[in-house]
Amino acid sequence: MPRTAAEVHTDLVLEPRDVKFDWSRLPLHWIPDEPFATHTINVLHLLLPEGERWFTEVFKDALPLITDEQLREEVLGFIGQEAIHAEAHQEVLDHLLGQGLDPRPYVRQIAWLFQRILGPKPHLSPRQRRENVIERVAFVAAIEHFTAFLGNWALNSPGLERAKADPTMLDLLRWHGAEEVEHRSVAFDLLVHLDRGYGRRIRGMVLGGPLLVHLWVRGVRYLLAADPELRGRLKPSWRQAWDGAQRGMLPDPIQSLRSGLRYFKLRYHPTQEGSSAQALGYLATSPAARAAATR
């Protein structure tokens, strides 16, 4: 008998897949003739290495607070997956630098944000330290809502093929997206395990959602200005974002906003978004994930 979506999700064992990508032939505009869409998605590479390393630090800090053995296993699987995601996106950053687009000034700001502003605070009492860890877990849970949304979008975005996007980059986006869908419940379940309160959950989104939008807009602006072929001639606009979404190359801004608002539902749970079966289906065919499985 076919398994239900809930059964597929419950039976998941999160395993890091040690993927490798060859970027040597990646064009600067890997969606041909679409620099705006290319750089809007490239913001992921700017944010994720520092962001996902920070996720793993937060979750390592949370490990001593976990009293449920299964959740602990899931958190360890999450840490393993996010650590590999961070390194995979870092390699794209290194490639951009080799192509004459220097991402480092922007990335330095992101590193400062995650390490200094959102990093662990020294000199806290054990009680304050616990509170600080849970507050940061709430922030991760809110961001993970969006990474799952984006992952689900990447898995269901034929517009990228129509636009002839680079297949290796598509595999990176979909492998990562599939793992985001696969582990989409972990941060939320960890938060509920540590604090069932609605207030903390909401605070994570009220802070995390607008911050993410702000960083994304700044990131697009930065990449377009730093692009050695464009030399600042292409100015970003919401109209281009809307146009890119209509042609299926970018997530729809309205759908993204609606998705953020669903996080406020009292009975929200990440499993209501995306499909674990679809994610596993992609991971079974992903060239990078298949190569990793045979290594």
User: Which is closer to Fe ion, CB of 107 or CB of 230?
Assistant: 107
User: Which is closer to Fe ion, CB of 85 or CB of 193?
Assistant: 85
SS3 148: helix
Cα distance between residue 260 and residue 229, in whole Å: 35
Instruction: Supply 37's token pair.
Output: 């869409």
Instruction: Supply 162's token pair.
Output: 């129509």
- Cβ-count burial 24-45 (b if 16+ within 10 Å, e if not): eebebbbbeebbbbbbbbbbbb
CB of 143 to Fe ion, least distance (A): 8
CB of 138 to Fe ion, least distance (A): 15
User: Which is closer to Fe ion, CB of 29 or CB of 174?
Assistant: 174
CB of 78 to Fe ion, least distance (A): 7
Interacting residues with Fe ion (CB under 5 A):
82, 85, 147, 180
Taking a C-beta distance cutoff of 8 angstroms, is the pair 219, 47 a contact? Answer: yes
User: Which is closer to Fe ion, CB of 36 or CB of 149?
Assistant: 149
Using a 10 angstrom Cβ sphere, with 0-12 exposed, 13-18 middle and 19 or more buried, the burial of residue 217 is: middle
Instruction: Return the half-sphere exposure (C-beta side, CA atoms, 13 A cut-off) of residue 58.
Output: 28
Cα distance between residue 37 and residue 40, in whole Å: 5
CB of 22 to Fe ion, least distance (A): 21
CB of 156 to Fe ion, least distance (A): 18
User: Which is closer to Fe ion, CB of 57 or CB of 243?
Assistant: 57
